[in-house]
Amino acid sequence: MNKTVLAAAIAAAVSGSAMAQTSVQVYGLLDTGIEYVTNAKESGGNSLRVSSGGSNNSRFGFRGSEDLGGGLKAVFQFESPVLSDTGEIDGPLFRRQANVGLEGKFGRVIIGRSFTTVYDFISPFDPMGYAPRYSWASTGGGTLGSKYGMTTAFDNMVKYQGEFGGVKIGASFGAGESRESDADGRKLAVGAAHAIGGLRYVLTAERVNGVTGTAIARSVSRVYHVGLAYELTKGADLKLGLRNYRLERPVGSEVRADTWWAGANVDLTPMVDMTGVVYYINVKNGVNASDTEADPLMFVVRTRYTLTKRTNLYATVSYAKADGGVPIGVTRDSTEDGGVTGVSDNQTGIMLGMQHRF
C-alpha cells in the first residue's frame, strides 16, 4: 500500500473511532535549512543544498492514552520520519515509533519499536541535544569505517522507565527473533540518572549481538556511557560525555574507540541561545587501519533565535578534521544515507535553518 494512503487511513481511523474513547494528539516537527559543506565531492568541490533535520529530525505522529482507572493508563504512539526537503518518508513508515503500553505509578512499559534507553538517557547530556547533524554524541561521522556509536532504536522491543527517590532508571530489550538462535541479534540497554542540586549525571550500558556467520561465531558490541551536566546559573549549563565502544569480532582483533564531548548551552537573552561543543573520537583499534590513525575532532557552534514557543531560526557552523590524511565528514551519515561524505581530512559545514513544531 502507498505510504501516503496508509498514513491517511490511520489518521482517519484515529479521528473517527478512537477519539471517542481515547485522548489522541496529532503532532509533528518540520526542520529544514540551507546547507553549505566543503570537500563534499570526489573532485574536491563543495556542496550547496537544502537539507532536512539541521537541529532535529523532521517527523509527524500520533500519540494517545486512555485512563483505565486507579492511576493506570494505556498509551500508544506512532511516529514517522519525514524528509522535509523532498516530502519523502525516511525509511519505513513508522521507523521512529510504533508501540503500545501501560503507564502508572510503577513507571512506563511499552512494546514495539522505540528509541533505546541509552539514547533516551544520553541525548539530554549532549549540548546539541537531539540534533541529527553536527553532533557525534550518538554516533561518529559517516565517512569512517565505523561510526563507533550507540544503537539508537530497537525493533521487537520491551522498554521500561521509572523514577524512584529521584533516581531515574530504564531498560530496553530487543528480541533477535533469528531462525538460527534467539541469541542472534539480541539487544539490551540499561541506564540510570540522578540529580543533586545543579548537578546531573547518567550511566548507561548496551550490548548488541550480531548474527552467527559462516565462522559459527557472532560479533558482540558493548557500549558504555557516562554523562555529566552542571547548571552554572539559570540558563547556563555545562555538559560532558564519554562513550566507550567495543566490538568483538569473529575474525580479527577487538575494535575499540572512546568518544568524548564537552560543551555548553547558554541563554544570551530570552529570545537567543547559543551552543558550543567539541567532539573527539579516540580510535584505539579501528575497523579499518586508517581509522586508528584518524582520531577525528569536531568543533560546533549554534545560535538559535526563538520567534515563538513553536518556531525558531538557527545558524550552525561546524569544522571537523582528522589525522593521517583520513577523509572525515561533519555529518553522521554518508551522502548515500542523506548526509555528506567527506573526501578530505577536513570539512566545514554551515547551515541556516528554520524549525516549527505543531
d(CA 196, CA 107): 21
What is the domain partition of the chain in residue ranges? 47-357
Enter the pTM of the model.
0.90
pLDDT score at 144: 84
Q: What is the pLDDT of residue 343?
A: 87
Express each pLDDT in 33-77 by its tens digit.
999 999 988 888 999 999 999 999 999 999 999 999 999 999 999
Q: Of all helices (H) and strands (E), which one includes residue 4?
A: helix 3-16
* Domain spanning 47-357: CATH superfamily: Porin (2.40.160.10)
CA distances, 266 to each of 18, 100, 301, 310 (Å): 42, 37, 12, 19
Q: Which residues of the chain have pLDDT under 70?
A: 1-21, 213-216, 335-338
The pLDDT assigned to 336 comes to 65
Cell digits for 144?
569512517
Pairing of strands 236-248, 97-104: unpaired
